Amino acid sequence: MIPIVAIVGRPNVGKSTLFNRLVGRRKAIVDDLPGVTRDRNYETVTRFGRPFILIDTGGFEPASEDRLLQQMREQSQLAMEEADVIIFLMDGRAGLTPSDVEVVEMLRRVDKPVFFVVNKVDGEKLEVESAEFYTLGVDNIATISAEHNRGVNDLMDEVVAAL
Ligand code: GDP
Ligand code: MG
């Protein structure tokens, strides 16, 4: 079975940007994939010679913080059930938010590899500012810029090794 990698996170953190960067032009539509919700974006991707299915969990911009949390719980729950590896994306420009803290608590109890990643770290100044994410108490936090392709290869190297 081809492994599944899910990208989870609040709206606007850059999930689709990362998805598109990883999918690139080598898109392949997976038609018959049992157990995977059809309304989400998924493609087969090959990185470092290793094929996997990448899921971009969707999500609307909710009207309230409560709705946001509910959406993220559902999204994370599905990812925990379906995925072999989870990439939890946060936003280094917006900073750490209460919903990030909550979802991290949920994901750190998962018995699967979870990569905690701060996106939008486009340069070294932001690299320093992203230090607040270490208050999450997570051992390993990767910083990337999906838009500028910074740190993405290193991250995917580790993700592929975890498959
Ligand atoms: P999603 O809602 O999590 O799928 O987020 P999107 O991929 O749609 O991105 C939301 C916004 O963040 C868009 O305006 C992107 O251009 C921007 N964005 C995504 N990645 C980066 C990044 O690495 N750096 C910066 N500065 N902006 C980014
Ligand atoms: Mg999106």
CB of 92 closer than 6 angstroms to any ligand 1 atom:
no
As a CATH number, domain 4-148+152-161 is 3.40.50.300
Across 57-139, the runs of DSSP E, i.e. the strands, are 85-91, 114-119
CB of 15 closer than 6 angstroms to any ligand 1 atom:
yes
> What is residue 142's three-state secondary structure?
strand
Task: Identify any residues that bridge with 8 across adjacent strands, giving them in sequence order.
Answer: 88
Query: 97-147, pLDDT tens digit by residue?
Result: 988 998 999 898 889 999 999 999 999 888 878 889 999 989 889 999 999
Residue 128's contacts (CB-CB under 8 Å, 6 or more residues apart) are none
Structural domain boundaries in the chain: 4-148+152-161
The pTM score is 0.89
Query: 45-101, pLDDT tens digit by residue?
Result: 999 999 999 998 866 666 788 888 888 888 888 888 889 999 999 999 999 998 899
Residue 105's contacts (CB-CB under 8 Å, 6 or more residues apart) are none
Question: How many Å is the maximal CA-CA distance in the chain?
Answer: 45
Judged by phi (left if over 0) then psi (alpha if -120 to 50, else beta), residue 24 lies in left
| Dist CA 31 CA 59 (whole Å) | 21
Choosing from 75, 87, 147 the residue with most ligand 1 atoms within 8 A of its CB, the one to mutate for a pocket test is: 147
